[in-house]
Structure 1
């Protein structure tokens, strides 16, 4: 899969996970430094992979998902980046976010390895949206080809509407 970051080609560590497969187990770190594992989550879930919430596009994307998910109380959403938990907590406070769980993959990069979304050249996660059902099966997967662009919100909305 060919991805670009600000127009320049970048390389993923491996092929990303695919629709129809199960999302592999991983551990990420919540804002309070507590671990959260995939097996700790249940139901219909969205995992947003973003380079950094300290950038305009990532911040806008997650803010948009906060509003989109207002109509979906039965869908949980996790935003994963390489940002430190302290930075994620600051972002959540500044946006009054209580809807999306922000988590960091800085420590062991388990999410990056499990999903194949780690970008070798810049040490960050690619922008992607993964929707999984209660059985951890990937029902929707989008890796945004130009990492500095937003994902297809309508496609994610259709994917969760089908499941919830």
Structure 2
């Protein structure tokens, strides 16, 4: 049975239920399968040997998600080739590609969890009530160990960008 964490977070003050485990620094990063595009999937192993900053957003077409993805796209320039930044949302791959083109996003890789919610369930961020992934940040080292986690308590708030980038830099 899948673990549910009732009231683990809120959306505009209203409690929501997150499906999946609560990961902590030191845990082995769970594998997942998400869509790169309509025909191609991606998994954790596709980014083996890289430091992975995974930025999770409910939908790129909302203000905070837009700002979060743009911020990490800017930060990517200073992190080097050993780091990959993945933005995962439930948006369809078409919508992600359209948004990236319009926003000029060229350093962040967008991946869609829309098919099976594989990432959301493995990382404990699937919102049961909305079938969206909860805003969160995961930094995973080159050996697939979770180095940093931020589960936001309120969906409409921004993550701690500085702490996430500092966690990546500690692994370089």
* Separation (CA, whole Å) in 2 of partners of 1:92 and 1:158: 25
Which of the residues 65, 70, 74 maps onto 1:63?
70
The question of whether the paired residues in 2 share the 8 Å contact of 1:32 and 1:85 is answered with yes
Which of the residues 7, 24, 28 maps onto 1:18?
24
TM-score, normalisation: structure 2: 0.92
| 1:3 and 2:33 correspond | no
Superposed, 1:91-102 pairs within 5 Å as 91-102=99-110
CA RMSD of aligned residues (A): 1.1
Q: Counterpart in 1 of 2:96?
A: 88
Q: Counterpart in 1 of 2:79?
A: 72
Q: Counterpart in 1 of 2:33?
A: 27
Indicate the SS of the match to 1:11: strand
* Separation (CA, whole Å) in 1 of partners of 2:119 and 2:69: 18
* Separation (CA, whole Å) in 2 of partners of 1:69 and 1:77: 7
* Separation (CA, whole Å) in 2 of partners of 1:31 and 1:156: 27
Superposed, 1:108-123 pairs within 5 Å as 108-123=116-131
Q: How far did residue 32 of structure 1 move?
A: 5.2
* Separation (CA, whole Å) in 2 of partners of 1:40 and 1:15: 23
Indicate the SS of the match to 1:71: coil
Q: Give every structure 1 segment of 4 or more consecutive aligned residues whose post-TM-superposition deviation is greater than 2 Å.
A: none
The question of whether the paired residues in 2 share the 8 Å contact of 1:33 and 1:85 is answered with no
* Separation (CA, whole Å) in 1 of partners of 2:39 and 2:92: 9
Indicate the SS of the match to 2:111: strand
Q: Counterpart in 2 of 1:157?
A: 165
Q: How far did residue 113 of structure 1 move?
A: 1.4
Indicate the SS of the match to 2:73: helix
* Separation (CA, whole Å) in 2 of partners of 1:149 and 1:81: 16
Unaligned runs of 5+ in 1: none
Q: Counterpart in 1 of 2:61?
A: 54
Q: Deviations over 1:126-149 (max 9, x none)?
A: 000000001100000001111111
CA 105–142 in structure 1, closer or farther in 2 if over 3 Å, else same: same
Q: How far did residue 15 of structure 1 move?
A: 3.0
